[in-house]
Amino acid sequence: MNFFEYQDQSRRKTKWLIFLYILAMICIFLAIHSLIIYCFFVSSKTSYWTIWLNPLLIFYDSVGILLLVGCSSLFKVVQLSQLQGDGIATSLGGELIHRSTTSPQEKRLLNIVDEMAIASGIPVPNVYLLRTEPGINAFAAGFSPESSVIGVTQGALDYLNRDELQGVIAHEFSHILNGDSKMNLRLIGVLFGLEMIVLVGLVIYRNLFMISFASDRDRDNDGKAQAIVLGLLLFSIGIIIIGWIGMFFSNLIRAAVSRQREFLADASAVQFTRNPLGIGGALKKIGCPRVGSMINHSHSVETSHLFFGNIFRPGFFSSLFRTHPDLTVRIQRIDPNFDGTYPEQLLKMRNEAGQVNLNLEENNAAYSVSSDQTKNANSPFSNVNDRSSLPKATMFVSLNQSQNTMPSAQKGAVIAAAIVDSIGQINENNLIVAESLMESIPLEISEQLNRSQDAKNIIWALLIDSKSEIAKKQKDILGKYWASHSENRTSNSNDQKMDDFLQQVEKISTQIKSLSAQIRIPIVQLALPALKDLSPGDYQAFRSVVNELIRCDQRINIFEYTLSALLFNGLDRHFGLTPAPKIRFALFREVIEPFRVAASFLAYYGNEDSEAQKKAFLAAFGFFYLSSELLSRSECSPKAFFAAIQQLALSTPVLKQKLLTAFYCCICDDGIITETEGELIRAISAILNCPMPVWSNSKQ
């Protein structure tokens, strides 16, 4: 199952969750309506069923229950969507790990997250540390890859080596890529609505003494008051029971769904890293009774299904509502020879000074899956640790001998299908390329990417034009920005500072131009976490300058379009400037016109010969077994193309997969993907919210 199928499955599960929620609401209404009739109308001379079927009572009860349960769930979901991943991590006691941290442990964690993000093509998420949690655990939270965050406990940093920590992070990235994080947050909203029933019952029950006290004062109405108290007592007890039963079954559903997703995420982590020793060793260390994976924070109960490991203490009810598979079973899925023996104690991976003890080999290897065990024929990962068979980092799509002899159009279709199928997937080859790209970034620029103000300068430097006359206009724009955001606009010292600022941007621009063009996209991705630290006003000003720099030459090139797509697609939502897109299109016929505009633009862009342009355009429509007329250049201008892609972003995941494959058929019609074509398709993927894995070379 690929990225698009997982996303579509997540959408279908959301619909199934809505169906179950409506069914639960109907059952709750029937139970509470019957309880109200029994408690308050049992002495009536009118028939029980006559009262039960009274339309007015049904209306009042249904409205009351809908307002209580439905509005509570809606409130919680809206609250979580406003909090996004950052707010959820903070509510669990997480502290944002700033990019300027000096802690070796935290730097190692950030480096792993950066590698995973660049390899998978998603924006680099913020990373939070649960500093007071000694257990080994982690979580991913967010409604989309752009808003997701990674949280890690202090115990995970203390006890896991790099391979094990990488396995855990890969597990969490799998949840982000497969849409599990969004589904998990919606489950929290559903459960909150059902919890409100219990809370209402408890409030009524605990406040009955107030009514009893009032009835004692009114001795003339003792009988009536006692009847009211008795009815409320029975009602509150009934409400509590109904609420607990509803929560019982809801937790069972949540646990069943979550357990299966954990198995899939474990398998994905092994697939991503090609190293069962990593996640297998982390799971074995969780089994240490002195460490475990418990989370002590009071808000952790409602978010238990977000975590890597089970957060509860061992017990009957915790095993019944356990949101994770049995630990031994999880390990045996990776290592069939595991006998269920866990370490009695663990050594920390850092010394008293807080430095990572990288030479602690006995702790690294003692509780990990052995390489001999992973080659057991019964293991689904029996050959995954054999890295000699992996493709070299210089290859992106491997074609066999028969495919290499195909005509260019057929070869392009094969390449297109392979590339699109890789979306949302990570493998060791991607990680090798990501690591290589990160190492290619000069140390000075890497350090500046960790500071929000310097990160702005780097983005601006990326946009400085090679033509001197355009570059001069761009520097004037930056100078105006500096003057309008400086406290001492008229002082000579401020003029000197502005010169230093412009020289710094020019220096960065010169450094970046001397590097491989392939490094530009990772630099943009690595700048995102620091840019999220900007204030809303600073971001608005930064965004305005970016747009001015792009428009300075009265045209927009492909890299500028790619940069703006990668930047603004996530940051605009982070700062609340644009809402998340709502799905509107499920069928190709609904988007055929914007698709025609986009395909025409791609055909013109990638080919100079008129026949090649028509051939590439027909290759895109040929994917849908259709034919159409190539639009004129004026009908598919860059502005029309950008608008068309925005419309296509409102498609379902399955339709997006088909659209992207068709676009690749268009640009791969000649069997080659050039560097600029690669940047263009990456920009399209970013707007369509389809994470494109890192490419290993500029021309395929």
Rounded to 5°, the CA angle 357-362-368 comes to: 105
Residues 164, 108: Cα–Cα separation, whole Å: 12
The amino acid sitting at 30 is L
Kindly state the tokens that stand for 128.
């939070």
Residues 560, 681: Cα–Cα separation, whole Å: 13
From 133, 172, 262, 560, active-site residue? 172
Tokens 């009893």, residue located? 212
What are the start-end ranges of the E strands in 55-158?
Answer: 95-96, 126-130, 138-141, 149-153
DSSP state of 534: S
8 A C-beta contact, residue 51 and residue 44: yes
Residues 14, 27: Cα–Cα separation, whole Å: 20
Burial 293-326 (b: 16+ CB within 10 A, else e): bbbeeeebebbbbbbbbbbbeeeeeeeebbbbbe
Helix%, strand%, coil% for the chain, nearest 5: 65, 5, 30
Length of the chain: 700
Instruction: Answer positive or negative: Cα dihedral of 103, 92, 90, 125.
Output: positive
Q: What are the φ and ψ backbone dihedral angles of 45, each rounded to 5 degrees?
A: -75, -20
Tokens 């979306």, residue located? 423
CA dihedral 512, 517, 521, 522 (to 10 degrees): -70
Kindly state the tokens that stand for 404.
């290499």
Of 426, 428, 546, the C-alpha closest to 478 is 546
Q: What are the φ and ψ backbone dihedral angles of 627, each rounded to 5 degrees?
A: -135, 155
Of 258, 260, 276, 263, the C-alpha closest to 167 is 276
Residues whose CB falls within 8 Å of the CB of residue 104, separated by 6 or more in sequence, listed in order: 350, 354, 355, 356
Indicate if 172 belongs to the active site.
yes
- Positions marked catalytic: 172
